[in-house]
Structure 1
Amino acid sequence: MKAIIRAKPWRGDKPPRKILVMRFQALGDTVITLPYVQSIKRQYPQTVLHLFTREEVSRIPKSIILFDRIFSLGGKRNAKVQFVLALLMMPLLWMQRYDAVIDLQHHRFSKIIRWLLGAKAWSVFDTNSPISAGERTRQTIEALWTWKISLDTAFTFKSIEGIDTLLYKNGYKKGHDLVVFNPAGYCVSRNWPLPYYTEFAKLWIKQNPMTQFVLLLLPSLHEKATFIQKEIGDHCINLTGKADQLEAFKIIQRSKLVISEDSGLMHMAWVQGVATIALFSSSRKDWSAPQGEWSVCLDSSDLACGPCGLEQCTFGDNRCLTRYSPSYVSNIAQQLLSHSATV
């Protein structure tokens, strides 16, 4: 399916020399853009890429070898403050003389910036079509010029110092595979039952005893982490509240598998080519599902009631998720890893 992309394409025989990419949204939304932008850099290393984003989500882009320069905007999620700060940055942005702007935000604020920059070419993200955000990102970038954009997941970090120390300090056993559990769906209807996670772990350990399960949750979810850790003991590496977004991103890159509800951590996994099982319920798979052959989305689109978008299940039983048993998810994971190993 084609997204509805507004664009003024670049008409040159060669790609634009200098491009500004804009994305000001949440962490997961920003991370989604990275493998597609990296596809530009891999194919056309002479192209200069700048990123304009929020300060709160800039650490991961700053940590990888991709952008030639990153402009970080304060103001948190206050659009008015962001806009004022962006206007103050305009003289610096004008000095860059961009040939093209890729607007992956597409709101009134980014439209004004794009207009003020006066670039010869631009393309604008489609916020409404029933297509995954990743695919809409790819199509937005392709609308700028004649290049073919792929899902390039091979990120290189500028530094990985501290990750080994963090893992060993919290119980990592040398030679063990890492599987990330992420029971972090923001509302009750998006939560796979905690006993399902622990039952999955016990089933997995029987076949893969040298496995540890990593929790990278926010402090507000410490009760969930405590439950899982109590059930699986030293097979759990509990980094709840101990790992920041960049450390989580790096640890996920080292992981063999990620099982996640709909949250930013799920996007951190598939954009790095890590085998990912996404557990969706009221979430829209067509908008948010992970991409790539290494990803599977177990969702509710086949049910008459789903995806409902509700925070509380109408039936009170989260049936769109509870029907996916630990043994079923374990079989899906084994198939996914077997397929990844042959690709």
Structure 2
Amino acid sequence: MQYDHIKEQRSFRPWRETKAPQKILIIRFYAIGDIAITFPACASLHEKYPETQIDYLTVHSNEELPEGVMIFNQIFGMHFSNLAVKKLIETLQWGLKIRRHKYDVIIDLQRNRISRLIRRIAGPSSWGEFDRFSPNPAGVRVLETFKRIGFAELELNFKIPVTVHLLNQGKNLLIKNGWNGSEKLIILNPAGLFETRNWPIQNYIQLSKLIQASGPVKFLFLGTDRIREKADYLIRTVGMNAINLVNQTSLGMALAIMQMVSAVISEDSGLMHIAWVSGVPTVGLFGSSRHDWSSPIGSHSRCLHSGDLPCGACMAAKCKYSDTHCLSRYTPEMVFKKYEELQKLFNR
């Protein structure tokens, strides 16, 4: 597969002290799903070292997501210029700013030129870098980074401690829009970025009918305007009992609302990652995406992917065969079976 030939040189200096580090910095700039994927390992680190200050460096547009969890003491949101020289100056300035905080450990989960330069200027006692290309799910590679630094006893923690304020806001918004506080909330999320990651809309219609026939539920739509048209179409066509919050929630609010959801059926997207890292039973629908890089993980997750096909996981925006068979071959009945399987195992 693409990039599998790359053997990246990653830099590590393990934490060798017997005492816990006093200050740790996590670096991840992009994207929403990738930031969410860092949370289970960070939650485990916070649980293991509750007295350690854990801070997070990201970009300004994404800082609301880590601000929504009770793991990090301080969130830094960077602004980047599009001009190369100005971006370099900004990076140097951030490196000096981070240096003044005197971190014992910096965990670079972005691992690009900017994050590397900031870490080198900061000069921590210990550090580690993310493995960007190995054919393992990102959640596994994040945890492996923590372990190589010296936190070998950590395991992924899918109980993300969202702030009480956001949880209350999320619950109130749901109730305001017709939730009774006890109905099962099922998210359908047709949010794949490319047509090769889009499950046919007619399949969603049939799947929603199967779910409704299995018991009382309320469907929920979150996310951006990208799914507005599909959400409106599904609600109108099926006549489903639904709450439509498309483009009505912030990142933090979406994270909070996710804690009240019973199941998520989603194409590869940021919201899908927010779901499984929160321990929500999740069925991931992967077409051209590399499941070995970004599939949901944990016993509460299932991934229907294309890795078994010669043309699978191609990462292309358009199918060269013009049929996206890698994803359309999964019938509503097959997806419903995975949903039903998870509902029996995890009765949320």
Following the alignment from structure 2 to structure 1, what is the Cα–Cα distance between the partners of residues 320 and 192?
17
From 52, 64, 87, the counterpart of 2:57: 52
Asked if structure 2 preserves the Cα contact closer than 8 Å seen for 1:15 and 1:145, the reply is: no
Asked if structure 2 preserves the Cα contact closer than 8 Å seen for 1:49 and 1:67, the reply is: yes
The CA deviation string for residues 88-130 of structure 1, in whole angstroms up to 9 with x for no partner, is 3444422221111111111111111111111111101111111
The CA deviation string for residues 282-314 of structure 1, in whole angstroms up to 9 with x for no partner, is 111110101111001100111122122221222
Distance apart, 1:274 and its partner CA: 0.4
From 184, 187, 192, the counterpart of 1:180: 187
Following the alignment from structure 2 to structure 1, what is the Cα–Cα distance between the partners of residues 344 and 240?
26
TM-score by length of structure 2 reads 0.92
| Matching residue's letter, 1:20 | L
Aligned residue number for residue 273 of structure 2: 267
Asked if structure 2 preserves the Cα contact closer than 8 Å seen for 1:126 and 1:140, the reply is: yes
Aligned residue number for residue 37 of structure 2: 32
From 207, 211, 226, the counterpart of 2:214: 207
Asked if structure 2 preserves the Cα contact closer than 8 Å seen for 1:142 and 1:148, the reply is: yes
Q: 2:259 aligns to what SS in structure 1?
A: helix
Aligned residue number for residue 236 of structure 1: 242
Following the alignment from structure 2 to structure 1, what is the Cα–Cα distance between the partners of residues 110 and 86?
17
- Aligned residue runs from structure 1 range 80-159, under 5 A: 83-158=88-163, 159=165
Following the alignment from structure 1 to structure 2, what is the Cα–Cα distance between the partners of residues 70 and 269?
22
Asked if structure 2 preserves the Cα contact closer than 8 Å seen for 1:3 and 1:139, the reply is: no
Aligned length: 340
Following the alignment from structure 1 to structure 2, what is the Cα–Cα distance between the partners of residues 193 and 116?
49
Asked if structure 1 preserves the Cα contact closer than 8 Å seen for 2:37 and 2:273, the reply is: yes
Distance apart, 1:183 and its partner CA: 0.2
Aligned-residue sequence identity (percent) comes to 36
Determine whether 1:66 maps to 2:51.
Answer: no
Asked if structure 2 preserves the Cα contact closer than 8 Å seen for 1:217 and 1:225, the reply is: no
Distance apart, 1:243 and its partner CA: 1.7
Distance apart, 1:273 and its partner CA: 0.5
Distance apart, 1:71 and its partner CA: 1.3
Following the alignment from structure 1 to structure 2, what is the Cα–Cα distance between the partners of residues 59 and 162?
15
Following the alignment from structure 2 to structure 1, what is the Cα–Cα distance between the partners of residues 304 and 67?
32
Give the RMSD, CA atoms, in angstroms. Answer: 2.1
The answer for unaligned runs of 5 or more in structure 1 is none
Distance apart, 1:341 and its partner CA: 4.7
Following the alignment from structure 1 to structure 2, what is the Cα–Cα distance between the partners of residues 287 and 153?
19
Deviates more, 1:290-299 or 1:158-167: 158-167
Aligned residue number for residue 191 of structure 1: 198
Following the alignment from structure 2 to structure 1, what is the Cα–Cα distance between the partners of residues 84 and 29?
10
Determine whether 1:321 maps to 2:289.
Answer: no
Q: 2:160 aligns to what SS in structure 1?
A: coil
Following the alignment from structure 1 to structure 2, what is the Cα–Cα distance between the partners of residues 179 and 108?
40
Asked if structure 1 preserves the Cα contact closer than 8 Å seen for 2:281 and 2:343, the reply is: yes
The CA deviation string for residues 156-181 of structure 1, in whole angstroms up to 9 with x for no partner, is 22212322332233333443100111
Asked if structure 2 preserves the Cα contact closer than 8 Å seen for 1:56 and 1:76, the reply is: no
Aligned residue number for residue 303 of structure 2: 297
Following the alignment from structure 1 to structure 2, what is the Cα–Cα distance between the partners of residues 148 and 78?
43
Asked if structure 2 preserves the Cα contact closer than 8 Å seen for 1:199 and 1:326, the reply is: yes
Following the alignment from structure 2 to structure 1, what is the Cα–Cα distance between the partners of residues 203 and 242?
15
Q: 1:325 to 1:84 in 2, by over 3 A?
A: same
Distance apart, 1:82 and its partner CA: 5.0
Q: 1:164 aligns to what SS in structure 2?
A: helix
Distance apart, 1:14 and its partner CA: 2.2
Following the alignment from structure 1 to structure 2, what is the Cα–Cα distance between the partners of residues 174 and 72?
35
Following the alignment from structure 2 to structure 1, what is the Cα–Cα distance between the partners of residues 35 and 73?
17
Aligned residue number for residue 167 of structure 1: 174
Asked if structure 2 preserves the Cα contact closer than 8 Å seen for 1:171 and 1:234, the reply is: no
Distance apart, 1:321 and its partner CA: 1.4
Aligned residue number for residue 252 of structure 1: 258
Q: 2:124 aligns to what SS in structure 1?
A: coil
Distance apart, 1:231 and its partner CA: 2.1
| Matching residue's letter, 1:57 | N
Aligned residue number for residue 3 of structure 2: none
Asked if structure 1 preserves the Cα contact closer than 8 Å seen for 2:160 and 2:277, the reply is: no
Following the alignment from structure 2 to structure 1, what is the Cα–Cα distance between the partners of residues 246 and 116?
38
| Matching residue's letter, 2:241 | H
Distance apart, 1:238 and its partner CA: 1.1
Distance apart, 1:234 and its partner CA: 4.6
